[in-house]
Amino acid sequence: MGFLQEKFLLAWLMISAMSVSTSSRNDHYTPPDLKHLTDLFPPVNFDQGFKELYGGSHIKLMENGSFVNLTLDKSSGSGFVSQNYYNYGFFNAAIKLPSGYSSGVVVAFYLSNAEMFPHNHDEIDIELLGHENKKEWIFQTNIYINGSTHIGREEKFRLWFDPTQQFHQYSIIWNNHHTVFLVDNVPIREAIHGESISSSSPSKPMSLYCTIWDGSEWATNGGKNPVNYKYAPFVASFREMQMEGCMWDNVKQGSFCTKNGQGLSSLDPVEGEEFAKLSQEQRIGMDGFRKRFMIYSYCKDPRRNKILPPECKP
């Protein structure tokens, strides 16, 4: 075989390998058929459970408030927030992301109590990070406890689908046992509230937020690719919102727990084996997803966390 032929063959093999890697990561992944926890709770219309956070005219309600469009343009982002604080529960939204160039754009679905506890707040975050042309949206999760924003607990993933083409379910389970992030009912991250991390488990009541905003300083390639408003407006669509939890009564300083509209004596509205721990099938599905799609974990970043949090230790 001649020199040029060898170079051509080597180049072809490298391209083929890259193609197989990309294809195996995205195109040929079939998510496991797991129990649809999203079928267990009723949807909440905007007027039933939410209020405007900011953005005014950038928030568009449709279909009697069951469908909400949030817009980001050069003048403003937008967002809405739950009318109540919740102490534990199940939270979900079907979201469709802006299509096209979206570098620097952040679409967030998260729990926080920063307004109630400004110096020691908690957060459980789902953040979807925009991209440059021909790149993918990044799915980022994070957990903050008692104002510990200096401790990074990020984990980042790629998705097996194009989140701009249709709606997909993004869910959070938060209870006394664990915090779980799910995509289309597939668990992708679990933080167990065991004794070793009891001091780092969110426990104070939180509101649910849905927002779109300019994250130019950090969202895409560490801030190297800011929002380009030539491609605005950026529109994120939300529907099938679900909130099932213990609502916090600020006057009585206690929680009122409901499930499907009925009062509970328990402090955990999402009780039952399917919420207390992951099933074997769910755990297998989560482990498979993480091996294939995780691109960053704080537990594997000793440069950022010189002393790893206790939950990272084997």
Structure tokens at 295: 């691109």
Q: Round to whole Å and give the CA distance between 244 and 269.
A: 7
**123 catalytic residue (yes or no):** yes
Q: Round to whole Å and give the CA distance between 126 and 93.
A: 11
Q: Are 67 and 237 in contact (CB under 8 A)?
A: yes
Q: Round to whole Å and give the CA distance between 199 and 193.
A: 9
Of 237, 210, 242, give the one whose Cα is nearest residue 62. 237
Q: Round to whole Å and give the CA distance between 110 and 51.
A: 15
- Tracing tokens 């509101």 back to the chain, one arrives at 207
Helix/strand/coil for 94: strand
**DSSP-derived pairing of the beta strands 178-183 and 207-214:** unpaired
**190 catalytic residue (yes or no):** no
Which one from 6, 115, 127, 281 is the annotated catalytic residue?
Answer: 127
**DSSP-derived pairing of the beta strands 67-72 and 186-192:** unpaired
DSSP conformation letters of 46-93: HHHHEEEEE-GGGEEEEGGGTEEEEEEBTTB-EEEEESS-EEEEEEEE
Of 207, 159, 139, 185, give the one whose Cα is nearest residue 282. 185
| Alpha-helical regions (H) of the chain | 3-25, 46-49, 273-276, 280-293
Which one from 6, 123, 155, 190 is the annotated catalytic residue?
Answer: 123
Residues catalogued as catalytic: 123, 127
